[in-house]
Structure 1
Amino acid sequence: MKNILKSLSIILPMASMLVMTQCKPMPNSGSSGTEKTFIIASQTVDCTGVAPMKCLQVKEKESDSWGNFYSNIEGFTYEPGFEYVLKVKTEKLTNVPADASSIKYTLVQQVSKTKK
């Protein structure tokens, strides 16, 4: 019995290490975020967030209505007069100030830029 317990005390930790090293994270798990397609209008509009500002007009599908976009897209530089189609990664943020967005937007790919 002592020999069995001694063998198990050596084998079990090794087996658990082997199992743990074979585990792979699932796609889109944790804070990796999700990817969306945004259509950005060729002109900004006046809007009010914390203060009066200019907002991008954004929609996710051609058939959607334009909506004000109060945040920014990291890595994207808007140029008036062009309509954009972008692939954007969205990530939920924690512990953000009350006047800040709880979602971080990051440019993944500029699909198109069309003069309007």
Structure 2
Amino acid sequence: MKNVTLFLKGTFTILSFLILSQCKPMPNSTSDNEKTFIVGPETADCTGVAPMKCLQVKEKESDTWQNFYTNIEGFTYEPGYEYVLKVRTEKIENPPMDASSIKYTLIKQVSKTKK
């Protein structure tokens, strides 16, 4: 039983790393550490370390929605609204294997529109 538990933990860790390594960073907008995000009115089912709900985010109106696997510090999401946010990005040195290497912090909520 102990071997099975150890095997499952190892498999889970490896799968988590593989899933997160496939995430593509969003391209830079105004500067290297400041971005404008459009956050969609609904979350989507996604899988990071475990099944979860992801914000739907894009940088331009013409872009397609992308799953956003982490949080934006200082931002409280409310379903049914589309947001335009200014966020600061900071590279995290030595992040945990199952976490983002970028920290996102809300600078300003530009708009909040009922959808």
TM over 0.5: yes
Separation in structure 2 between the aligned mates of residue 75 and residue 63 of structure 1, nearest angstrom: 26
SS in 1 for 2:42: coil
**2:107 match:** 108
**After TM superposition, what 4+ stretches of structure 1 lie above 4 angstroms from structure 2?**
none
> How far 1:102 moved relative to its partner?
0.2
Give the root-mean-square deviation of aligned CA atoms.
Answer: 0.7
Separation in structure 1 between the aligned mates of residue 87 and residue 106 of structure 2, nearest angstrom: 5
CA displacement, residues 6-52 of structure 1 (integer Å, 9 cap, x when unaligned) = xxxxxxxxxxxxxxxxxxxxxxxxxxx61100000000000000000
> How far 1:84 moved relative to its partner?
0.1
The aligned runs of 1:50-65 (5 Å cut-off) are 50-65=49-64
Sequence identity (%): 79
Structure 1 gap ranges (5+): 1-32
**2:84 match:** 85
TM-score (normalizing by structure 2): 0.72
Q: Which amino acid aligns with 1:51?
A: A
**1:39 match:** 38
Q: Aligned pair count?
A: 84
SS in 2 for 1:36: strand
> How far 1:95 moved relative to its partner?
1.1
